[in-house]
């Protein structure tokens, strides 16, 4: 399939950071990489309380800011929730949706993920929609069944022809374990996901950025990113180190070239 899409490097800071640590991290990233390459987008996703700080720290740069979660509603009586309109208003452009840690610890399900993706799009955010199987699902040969179910649930809500979306393949067994999926596994699953979306909309599938997440680091990034259906990475641990994050970013530039 002919692809022309931009590549993406998205940093998921998870529940890490402080005002001082975030400032130091962004100063580090910006001193290592003063300007971005237009072929490779960079997005950082801090916890909610720091979104405004990050919007301020990145305002004169091309670095995007994303949230790690949003409500599936735009406003209303939803105590403790945060509307995608609110994060958009303070300078966010992206929202991670359906991360496996939310599925695992907060009980988020496929339907909720789809509604959140739609709410994010309605608020003008680009959702980074996460799908991925557990080790047990992979070992029992159900990876494609699980990916298809998660994907169909999310895309059931989305008007593919119009929407800007990033899809992230994040096998749960590779997240935070230090053991990334092999480049061959990543390619096979990205290809599966792209083909599954092509059933709905071929042009959209060809252009959809599909990024990989799960223990990406400097030592494995170039192998994974050079696979044909891999359009970048969703980075956890390595996104908290300016030099590592920027080195991974440069790997992507090289591959984009
Ligand atoms: P990791 O996390 O890079 O630390 O494995 C990836 C993620 O959870 O998005």
Q: Which pLDDT score, from 0 to 100, does residue 175 have?
A: 97
Question: Is ligand 1 within 6 A of the CB of residue 68?
Answer: no
Element at 233 (helix H, strand E): strand 232-235
CA 180 to ligand 1: nearest atom: 5
143 CA to centre of ligand 1 in angstroms = 19
Q: Which pLDDT score, from 0 to 100, does residue 254 have?
A: 95
Whose C-alpha lies nearest to ligand 1, atom 3? 236
Whose C-alpha lies nearest to ligand 1, atom 6? 236
Q: Buried b / exposed e across 72-108, counting CB within 10 Å, b at 16+? A: beeeeeeeeeebbbbbbeeebbbbbbbbbbbbeeeeb
CA 238 to ligand 1: nearest atom: 3
Contact between 192 and 150 (Cβ < 8 Å): no
12 CA to centre of ligand 1 in angstroms = 7
CA distances to 58, 173, 192 from 242, in Å: 14, 25, 33
CA 100 to ligand 1: nearest atom: 8
In tens digits, the chain (257 residues) has pLDDT values of 444 579 999 999 999 999 999 999 999 999 999 999 999 999 999 999 999 999 999 999 999 999 999 999 999 999 999 999 999 999 999 999 999 999 999 999 999 999 999 999 999 999 999 999 999 999 999 999 999 999 999 888 887 777 799 999 999 999 999 999 999 999 999 999 999 999 999 999 999 999 999 999 999 999 999 999 999 999 999 999 999 999 999 999 999 97
Question: Is ligand 1 within 6 A of the CB of residue 175?
Answer: yes
Q: What is the rounded CA–CA span in Å between residue 8 and residue 74?
A: 27
pTM of the predicted structure, to 2 decimals: 0.96
Q: Catalytic residue positions? A: 99, 170
Q: Which pLDDT score, from 0 to 100, does residue 1 have?
A: 43
Choice from 46, 102, 131, 215 to test ligand 1 binding pocket (greatest atom count within 8 A of CB): 215
CA 235 to ligand 1: nearest atom: 3
Residues 6+ apart with CB under 8 A from 10: 42, 43, 44, 45, 66, 94, 96, 128, 166, 168, 211, 232, 233, 234, 235
Whose C-alpha lies nearest to ligand 1, atom 1? 236
CA distances to 41, 114, 201, 211 from 159, in Å: 23, 12, 10, 20
Whose C-alpha lies nearest to ligand 1, atom 7? 236
Whose C-alpha lies nearest to ligand 1, atom 9? 236
Domains of the chain: which residue ranges?
Answer: 94-257
Q: Tell me which fold the domain 94-257 belongs to.
A: TIM Barrel (3.20.20)
87 CA to centre of ligand 1 in angstroms = 22
């Amino acid at each position: 399939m002919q692809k022309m899409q931009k590549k993406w490097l998205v940093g998921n800071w998870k529940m890490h950071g402080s005002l001082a640590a975030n400032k130091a991290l962004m100063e580090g990233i910006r001193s290592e990489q003063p300007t971005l390459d237009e072929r490779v987008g960079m997005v950082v996703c801090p916890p909610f309380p720091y979104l405004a700080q990050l919007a301020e720290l990145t305002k004169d740069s091309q670095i995007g800011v994303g949230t790690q979660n949003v409500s599936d509603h735009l406003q209303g009586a939803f105590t403790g929730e945060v509307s995608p309109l609110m994060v958009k208003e303070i300078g966010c452009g992206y929202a991670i949706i359906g991360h496996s840690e939310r599925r695992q610890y907060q009980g988020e399900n496929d339907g909720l993920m789809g509604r959140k993706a739609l709410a994010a799009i309605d608020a003008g955010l680009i959702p980074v929609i996460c799908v991925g199987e557990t080790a047990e699902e992979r070992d029992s040969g159900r990876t494609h069944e699980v990916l298809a179910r998660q994907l169909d649930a999310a895309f059931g809500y989305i008007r593919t022809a119009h929407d800007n979306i990033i899809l992230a393949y994040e096998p749960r067994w590779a997240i935070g374990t230090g053991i990334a999926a092999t480049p061959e596994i990543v390619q096979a699953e990205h290809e599966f996901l792209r083909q599954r979306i092509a059933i709905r909309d071929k042009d959209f599938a060809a252009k959809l950025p599909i990024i990989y997440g799960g223990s990406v680091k400097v030592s494995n990034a170039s192998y994974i990113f050079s696979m044909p259906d891999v359009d970048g990475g969703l980075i956890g641990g390595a996104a908290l180190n300016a030099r590592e994050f920027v080195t991974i970013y440069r790997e992507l530039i090289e591959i984009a070239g």
